[in-house]
Amino acid sequence: MTELLLAARNVTKRFPGVLANDDVSVELRPGRILALLGENGAGKSTLVNVLFGMYRPDGGEIIIKDEVVDLRGPDDAISRGIGMVHQHFQLVPPMRVVENIVLGAEPTKLGLVDLDEARVRVVELSERYGLEVDPDALVEDLPVGMQQRVEILKALYRNADVLILDEPTGVLTPQEADHLLGVLRGLTESGVGIVFITHKLREVLAIADDIVVLRAGRVVGATTPTQATETGLAEMMVGRSVVLRVEKTVAQPGDVVLQVEDLKVDDDRGHLAVDGVNLQVRSGEILGVAGVEGNGQRELVEAITGLRHTSAGEITINGESLTNSSTRQVAQTGVGHIPEDREKHGIVAVYSLAENSVLNRYYRQPFSNRGIMRREVIHEHAEAVVDEFDVRTPNVTVSVSSLSGGNKQKLIVGREFSEDIELLVAAQPTRGIDIGAIEFIHRRIVEQRDNGAAVLLVSAELDEILSLADRIAVLYDGKLMGVLEASLANRESVGLLMAGITG
C-alpha cells in the first residue's frame, strides 16, 4: 500500500531576489484532498510546479509513491501518475475535445491513431466521474468551465492518481464550482489524491481533508476544516488579525449619476462584447456588476472611462453625454477609476510615487502653474496620500515599480479618492492583493458611497460583490441578465444569471 502519494520535503526554490519556497514540507495521502492556501505571491504555484517537475528545487526532495524521485520535467511527473490543471489551460483550441485529451498518448491500431477507441475511453471516464463533455466539440467553442473538464479528463486519461489544480474555481460560476468540488470528492473515492490551490476560504473549509497555509514562501500552519475557521485561516495567511466582514449601513440612493443606454462595444478582435446594455447608478449606492470574466465587463468599464470607443448607445454622467470622450474628459467630469490592469492603466512604472500620485491632473492647479509643474506641491500631495491611504514606502521619490501590488493599489485608490468624485468605477479593485489591503480598500469604497458618490463595482469575485453591492447587475455574453436587490440576492440566484439562466 502506498502511504505517501506525493510529498515535498524541505523544498527550497529561489528566483532572482525572491525565496519563493523556503524549507517547505507537505504530504498528500491516497484518497485525500490537500488544500494549499495563501495570499498572492505566497509560493503556492511555485511549490506545485516543483512537484510537477516544471522547476528544479534548489534544496529538499520530492517523494512520489513512497520513493524519492529526481524529476527531469513534467513528462517525468506525468509518467509517474501526476496530473496538473494549470491556472491557464494548455489546450489546443482548434482541435476537438477527444484529440486534446489523447494528445501525446494516442491509442493506435495498425500504426494509425485510433480515435474511435479514444472516444470510447473518454466517454467512459467522463461518465464515471460526472465530467460530461461532447468529445467531438472543438475546444475553442467551449465555455471555460467545459475546457477545465477537458483538462481534468486529460490527466485522468493518463491514469493520474494525483491531480493538482491551481486556482481552479476562479473562472467558474458558483454552481460550476460546487459541481467541480463534487467531482473531486468523487475522484478521491477511487483513491486519487488531490492538491487544490485556492485563496477562497469557504472552498477550503468545504473540500479539504488537510490544509496547509503558506506565507512568504514558508509553511505557517497546517490544520483541518474541523479545527479551522475562516477568520483563523485568514489570520494565518496574513499574519495578523483581520476583519472579513464589510461594515455598511443601508444605502440612501439619490439622483441618477451614471446612465448607460443601449450600449454596444466591440472587443479587441472586433466582436460584440457589450450587447445592448442599459443600467443606472445613483448617487449613494454601489451597483455591483457580477459575471464570469470575459463576459463584457472589461469592455463596459473601458467604454465608460474613455479607454474604448463604443459602437452604439449613450453614456451620460449627471445628464451630460460622455459617449466616446477621452479619459481626461471623463476624469474632469468627476469620475474616479480604479482600473483592472493597474500596471497598464493605473500607474507609470518608471515614474516616482509622487508623479504617479498626480498622474491624471499634474497639468492643472495646484500641481501646475502656467504650464510649470510645482514639485513641492506634488510632493506634499503624495505624502498626504501615502499617509492617509497607508501606502508602505520609504518615501515618495522611489520608483513606483518598487511597491508591492497592494501598495500600488492603495496609491491608485488614494489618488482617485483625493478629489471629490461623482462616480467611482472600480474594476477588480482587490485582485491579487493581500487581505489587509483588501479590507482597507473595501472600507474606503463604502466611505465614498456614504459621501454621496455613485459606485460601479465590477468584480469576478462574487463574494466581493455580495458583501459590497447594494444592487447587483449580472453580465453574461455581453448582455445584462438582470439586476437584483443585494438584500434579496444570494450565491445561487446570482450564479444562475452568471450562467445565462433566467426565469
Interaction site with ligand ADP (CB under 6 A): 15, 18, 20, 38, 40-46
Which entry of ligand ADP, Mg ion, none binds 160, CB below 5 to 8 A by partner kind?
A: none
Which entry of Mg ion, ligand ADP, none binds 20, CB below 5 to 8 A by partner kind?
A: ligand ADP
- Nearest distance in Å: CB 483, Mg ion: 34
- Nearest distance in Å: CB 465, Mg ion: 23
In the bound state with ligand ADP, the residue whose beta carbon lies nearer, of 172 and 212, is 212
Say how many Å lie between the first and final Cα of the chain, rounded. 51
| Nearest one of 132, 150, 164 to 90, comparing CA atoms | 150
Which entry of Mg ion, ligand ADP, none binds 284, CB below 5 to 8 A by partner kind?
A: none
- Listed as own residue / partner, the contacts of 436-441 with beta carbons closer than 8 Å and 24 or more positions apart are 436/238, 436/240, 436/242, 436/406, 437/406, 437/407, 437/409, 437/410, 439/242, 439/243, 439/244, 440/389, 440/390, 440/410, 441/409, 441/410, 441/413
In the bound state with ligand ADP, the residue whose beta carbon lies nearer, of 170 and 232, is 170
Helix axes 405-417, 375-388, angle to 10 degrees: 110
CB 78, CB 15: distance < 8 Å: no
45 binding Mg ion? (CB under 5 A): yes
Query: Near Mg ion by CB under 5 A, which window of 12-20, 45-53, 341-349, 487-495?
Result: 45-53
Q: Residue 476: beta bridge partners?
A: 479
Query: Near Mg ion by CB under 5 A, which window of 37-45, 227-235, 239-247, 484-492?
Result: 37-45
**C-alpha cell of residue 336:** 474616479
Which entry of Mg ion, ligand ADP, none binds 278, CB below 5 to 8 A by partner kind?
A: none
- Nearest distance in Å: CB 142, ligand ADP: 26
In the bound state with Mg ion, the residue whose beta carbon lies nearer, of 45 and 297, is 45
CB-CB neighbours of 232 under 10 Å: 14
Rounded to whole angstroms, the maximal C-alpha distance in the chain is 82
In the bound state with ligand ADP, the residue whose beta carbon lies nearer, of 63 and 214, is 214
Q: Is 72 helix (H, G, I), strand (E, B) or coil?
A: coil
In the bound state with Mg ion, the residue whose beta carbon lies nearer, of 47 and 289, is 47
Which entry of Mg ion, ligand ADP, none binds 18, CB below 5 to 8 A by partner kind?
A: ligand ADP
Site size with Mg ion, rule: CB under 5 A: 1
In the bound state with ligand ADP, the residue whose beta carbon lies nearer, of 71 and 382, is 71
Q: Residue 72: beta bridge partners?
A: none
Question: Measured at CB, which residue is nearest to Mg ion?
Answer: 45
- Nearest distance in Å: CB 15, ligand ADP: 3
329, 336, 351, 356 from 369: Cα distances, Å: 20, 23, 21, 18
CB 114, CB 61: distance < 8 Å: no
- The residue count for the chain: 503
Name the helix (H) or strand (E) containing 157.
helix 144-157
CB 315, CB 323: distance < 8 Å: yes
- Nearest distance in Å: CB 399, ligand ADP: 17
In the bound state with ligand ADP, the residue whose beta carbon lies nearer, of 42 and 486, is 42
Which entry of Mg ion, ligand ADP, none binds 38, CB below 5 to 8 A by partner kind?
A: ligand ADP
Which entry of ligand ADP, Mg ion, none binds 46, CB below 5 to 8 A by partner kind?
A: ligand ADP
- Nearest distance in Å: CB 44, Mg ion: 5
- Nearest distance in Å: CB 41, ligand ADP: 4
- Nearest distance in Å: CB 502, Mg ion: 34
Which entry of Mg ion, ligand ADP, none binds 501, CB below 5 to 8 A by partner kind?
A: none
Rounded distance, CA 175 to CA 495, Å? 6
**C-alpha cell of residue 438:** 483588501
Q: Is 21 helix (H, G, I), strand (E, B) or coil?
A: strand
21 binding Mg ion? (CB under 5 A): no
In the bound state with ligand ADP, the residue whose beta carbon lies nearer, of 100 and 428, is 428
Residue 500 CA from chain centroid, whole number: 20
In the bound state with ligand ADP, the residue whose beta carbon lies nearer, of 17 and 319, is 17
Which entry of ligand ADP, Mg ion, none binds 194, CB below 5 to 8 A by partner kind?
A: none
Amino acid at 473: A
| Nearest one of 332, 377, 451 to 322, comparing CA atoms | 332
CB 239, CB 220: distance < 8 Å: yes
**C-alpha cell of residue 155:** 490527466
In the bound state with ligand ADP, the residue whose beta carbon lies nearer, of 45 and 352, is 45
- Nearest distance in Å: CB 1, ligand ADP: 32
In the bound state with ligand ADP, the residue whose beta carbon lies nearer, of 43 and 168, is 43
49 binding Mg ion? (CB under 5 A): no
Peptide bond into 394 cis (omega under 30): no
Residues making contact with Mg ion (CB under 5 A): 45
